Structure 1
C-alpha cells in the first residue's frame, strides 16, 4: 500500500520535471523548432519596440547607426547636390529631367556627349554662362515651364550645333544672343517687351523656320529672317505695322513665298489699315481686320 502511494506521488513529479527540462533544452539547442519560434518572437517584439521608440523620439535625436533609413528625401531639399543621372533619365545622348523632385532650381551638370536636353516643368530660375559652356554637342534644349527670368550673356554662344531651343512658359523680359544655326525658337508665354528684344535679334538666324513669340507683351514686330515659314505673334500688344514689317516697301515686285503662316490675332492692331504691308505674302496674316 505504501509502495503504491509512493509511486502515485513520484510519477507526476518526474513527468513535470522532464517537460520543464525539455523546454529549457529546446531554447538552447541550435535548430530546434521551439527555440526558433521563441527566438523569432522575442526578436520581432524587440524590433517593433525599437521602431516605436524611433518614431517617438523628438526630431534631431539620433538612432542606431546600423538601422537603414527608409525615409524619403524631404520635399524642401535641393537637387543640386545629387548626380544628374540619379535625378534624371540619361540615355545615349539624351537627358530627361522633367518635374524633378526634390526641386531642380538650376541647369543640371550634363554628360559631355549630351545632344538633347529636356528639363521641362522644374523650378530653374536662371541660365548661367557656364551651364552649357562645355556641352558643344547640344542640338536641342527644352526648358519649357520653368521660372527662368535671367539668361547671362554668352549662355548659348558656344552651342554651334543647336537647332531647337524652347524657353516657353518662363519669366523672361529680354532675350539673349541666340545661336546662328537655330531652326526653331519658342519663347511663347513670357514677359517679353520690345525693349527686351532687339530689332535684329533674329536677323542673323538664316536657317530659322519656326518663330514663336505668342502671349508676351511685344509692342512691335521684330525683323523676321527670310527663311522663316511660321511666325506666331498672337496675344501681344502690337498696335501698328509698316510696309517693311513683312515685305519691302520700296520694292513692289518683292515676293516672300516661304512665309506661309503669320498669326497676329489678339493684338490691338487693326490689320485692315495696312493693306500694302502684306502684298508680298501668299496669304493674309491671321488677325483683326474690322
Structure 2
C-alpha cells in the first residue's frame, strides 16, 4: 500500500520536472522553437529583412512594410534596404531604384546590385568619405560624372560590371580592385592615364567590352582580364619596356586576351619581361 502511494506521488513530480527542464532548455538555446513555430519565425524574419530601419542599438528594429505604390525616391534608404553597422544592402529593390540612395554618413560598404540606377552624379557620394567598397553590378548606368568618386580617398573596391558605360570617370587612387566587365567601353572612352596613378591596383577586369587596344597597366596589377574585346595588336611597350632589356614584370600573374582578334604569336617580343604568357589566340 505504501509503495502504491509513493508511486502516485512520484509520477506527477517527474512529469512536472521534465516540463520545467524543457522550458529551461528552450531558454538556454537562442531562437529555439518547436518545429512549426521555428519555420514560421524564419519565414517571417526573412520576409522582413528589406523593411528594416537603421536605429540605435538600444531600440528595436521597425519592420514596417514598404507601402504599396510608394515612390522609391520618397522612402528612407533603410526602409528600402538592409542597413547594418557600416553596410547598406540594396539589391533588387522593389519598387525600382533608379538613383543612388541617400546613405548613412558612416557607410563603408554599399551593395546596390541589380537595380535600375541610370546615372551617378558628383553629389551621390560627396558626403560619404568612409566608403571602402561600392558594388553597382547589374544596373543601367550609362553616365558617371567625372568627379563622382573623387572624394572617396578610402575606396578600395569598385564594381561597375554589367552596366552601359561608354567611358570611365576619374578613379580613386587607393583602388585595389576595379571591375568594369560587360559594359560598352571603347578605347576612346578610357583616358590614357585612367589607371596610371592607381599604384595599389591588384585586379583589373575590363572583359566583354569594345576596347581596341590594351590600356596602360600599372606595375601593381596581378590579374588582368581583357577577353572578348576588339584588341587587334600588342606593342612592345604594352607590358614591357622596349628600351630596357633587363626589365621584368613579376607581379603580373594572369593576363587574359582570349576572344580578341589579335594573334599573339605575331608579337613575341612583347612578352619577354613577363613570367607568364597571355591567354589568347596564337594561331
Aligned length: 219
CA contact (8 A) 1:78 1:104 kept: no
CA contact (8 A) 1:136 1:160 kept: yes
Residue 174 of structure 2 corresponds to residue 174 of structure 1: no
Which residue of 2 is the match for residue 287 of structure 1? 280
Aligned-residue offset at 1:271: 0.2
Q: Which entry has the higher C-alpha Rg, 1 or 2?
A: 1
Given the superposition, is the C-alpha separation of residues 189 and 71 from structure 1 closer, same or farther in structure 2, using an over 3 Å criterion?
A: closer
CA RMSD of aligned residues (A): 1.2
Supply the distance in 2 between the matched residues of 1:118 and 1:193 (Cα, whole angstroms).
Answer: 26
Q: How does 1:73-88 map to 2 (within 5 A)?
A: 73-74=68-69, 78-88=71-81
Aligned counterpart for 1:190 among listed residues 160, 183, 192: 183
Partner secondary structure for residue 188 of structure 1: coil
Match of 2:134 among 141, 162, 181: 141
Distance in 2, matches of 1:242 and 1:85, equals 50
Q: Is the 8 A contact 2:179 2:205 kept in 1?
A: yes
Alignment match, 1:153: 146
Other structure's SS at 2:134 match = strand
Which residue matches 1:3? none
Q: Structure 1 length normalisation: TM-score?
A: 0.74
Match of 1:91 among 59, 75, 84: 84
* Contact residue 150 and residue 170 of structure 2 kept, 8 A: yes
**Runs of 4+ deviating beyond 4 Å:** none
Instruction: Say if 1:231 and 1:262, in contact at 8 Å, map to a contact too.
Output: yes
Contact 2:66 2:79 in 1 (8 A): no
Are the aligned partners of 1:221 and 1:238 in contact in 2 as well (CA < 8 Å)?
yes
Unaligned runs of 5+ in 2: 1-64
User: Which aligned pairs between 1:22-37 and structure 2 lie closer than 5 A?
Assistant: none
Instruction: Indicate whether 1:222 and 2:234 are aligned.
Output: no
Work out whether residues 113 and 137 of structure 1, in 8 Å CA contact, stay in contact via their aligned partners in 2. yes
Per-residue CA deviation, residues 149-179 of structure 1 (Å, 9 max, x unaligned), is: 0001200000000000000000000000000
| Cα distance in 2, alignment partners of residues 71 and 117 from structure 1 | 21
Kindly provide the CA deviation profile for residues 12-64 of structure 1, in whole angstroms up to 9, marking residues without a partner as x: xxxxxxxxxxxxxxxxxxxxxxxxxxxxxxxxxxxxxxxxxxxxxxxxxxxxx
Q: Which residue of 1 aligns with 2:237?
A: 244
Matched with 1:213 is: 206
Listed one character per residue, the Cα deviations across residues 36-95 of structure 1 (whole Å, up to 9, x for unaligned) are xxxxxxxxxxxxxxxxxxxxxxxxxxxxxxxxxx99623xx5311100000000000000
- Checking the alignment, whether the CA contact within 8 Å between 2:232 and 2:262 is kept in structure 1 is yes
Q: How high is the TM-score relative to the length of structure 2?
A: 0.76
Report if the CA contact (8 A) 1:78-1:105 is conserved.
no
